[in-house]
Amino acid sequence: MRIGAISNKVFLYVLAAVLVVFTSYPFLYMIATSFKTMKEFFVNPFTIIPEMFTFEQYASVFEMGLTHYFVNSIIISVVSVAIVVFVAALASYPLSRLKFRLNRPILLLFIVGMMIPIHASLIPIFVMSNKAGFYDTIWALLGPYVAFALPISIFIFSQFMEEIPREMEEAAEIDGAGYWKIFTSIIFPNIKPAISTVVIYNFVHIWNEFIFALVLIQTPEKMTLPLGLQKFYGEFSVNVPGLMAALTLASIPLIAVFVFAQERVVKGLTSGSVKG
């Protein structure tokens, strides 16, 4: 029995090692290629360790305006996520904690919003942005990003809020606290794992979003990072090492987020699935 348990453990470790190799190779390949010249890339396209490390691709990336794209993506991502957290938390509180006839139908209506395909809304959003005067500004992306992030965010917040003991709420009501005081003093501080989940999930999605930026942004100086990466695609060729350098820099914020908060993401997404 003991030998069987050891064999199973060894098999799991070997399987984990194989998975690590398969999952880490693309990332290591991206970083290694970013330090190659175009000539070396064509000669040795699949080698992990470059023959001679060079930073010329990173220098060319910044010369092509990566800083503008990076700043635009940071601004729209941070503002969008902040609005999503605030609005979704306010909407989830009455839907999960207050009892009234339409709270479940309204919550289901928000959840149905997750089923709306993004491509079906491109033309209406383009027309509205044009008429409102927001077209070709990064603020034109704010509405679509917030709207499509709200359904999943409200769902996550609602599941977390339902698990907060109602005795805490009742004690606050006895002390004379109103709904706003209960929300800011009891509910909001107790959903920190959910807040982390919503922030990380939506930040990653907005940071990588391409289709709305392609439709609503035209001026190069106002483009976000995913849209600006198109500059590395020429008419007849692609600067692969330069593209890899840009992708490496673009992935740093996402990697940092996952390294510091991956446990909260898992806890936030699984909370509410099992109730005892």
**Domain, as residue range, for 9:** 1-54
Q: At which residue do the structure tokens 């990064």 appear? A: 138
Instruction: Verify that 186 and 246 share a domain, yes or no.
Output: yes
Query: What's the whole-number mean pLDDT along residues 77-90?
Result: 93
Average pLDDT, the chain: 82
Within a domain: 171: yes
Which of 124-128, 190-194, 251-255, 261-265 has the least mean pLDDT?
261-265
Provide CB contacts within 8 A for 29, sequence distance 6+: 46, 48
CA-closest candidate to residue 126, choices 101, 112, 143: 143
| Alpha-carbon separation of residue 10 from 1, 16, 159, 189, 236 (angstroms) | 14, 10, 38, 43, 50
Q: Does the pTM exceed 0.75?
A: yes
Instruction: Verify that 32 and 90 share a domain, yes or no.
Output: no
Within a domain: 170: yes
